[in-house]
Amino acid sequence: MTRLPVSLQSLIIQCIALLLTALPSPLLLFFLSYQPALWLLALAQGSVAAVLSRVWRQPAWWPPLHFGFFPVILLAQQASIPPGVYLGAFLLLVLFYWSTFRTRVPLYLSDRKARQALTSLLPESRAFRFIDLGSGLGGVPFYLEQRFPQGRFFGTEIAPAPWLISRLRAWFKRSHVVFMRRDYTRINLGEFDVVFAFLSPAAMPDLWQQAQDQMRSGSLFISLSFEVEARPPDQVVSLAEGARHTLYVWRM
Kindly report the CATH number that applies to the domain delimited by 112-251.
3.40.50.150
Name the nearest CA neighbour of 192 among 115, 123, 99.
123
What is residue 156's predicted lDDT score, i.e. its pLDDT? 93
The H or E element spanning position 91 is helix 83-96
Cβ atoms of residues 161 and 169 within 8 Å: no
pTM score, whole prediction: 0.66
What is residue 53's predicted lDDT score, i.e. its pLDDT? 86
Where in the chain are the domains?
6-81, 112-251
Name the nearest CA neighbour of 233 among 111, 241, 225.
225
Cβ atoms of residues 238 and 244 within 8 Å: no
Judge residue 157's burial from the number of C-beta atoms within 10 Å of its C-beta, 0-12 exposed, 13-18 middle, 19 or more buried. buried
The H or E element spanning position 156 is strand 151-156
Spatial separation of the C-alpha atoms in residues 225 and 105, rounded to whole Å: 13
- Per-residue tens of pLDDT for the chain, all 252 residues: 345 556 677 888 888 888 888 777 766 556 666 666 777 888 888 898 889 888 887 767 778 888 888 888 777 777 776 766 656 666 665 555 655 555 555 556 677 888 888 999 998 889 999 999 988 889 999 999 999 999 999 999 888 888 899 999 999 999 999 999 988 889 999 999 999 998 877 788 999 999 999 999 999 999 988 888 889 999 988 876 554 578 899 999
What is residue 2's predicted lDDT score, i.e. its pLDDT? 41
What is residue 1's predicted lDDT score, i.e. its pLDDT? 37
Cβ atoms of residues 134 and 156 within 8 Å: yes
The H or E element spanning position 250 is strand 246-251
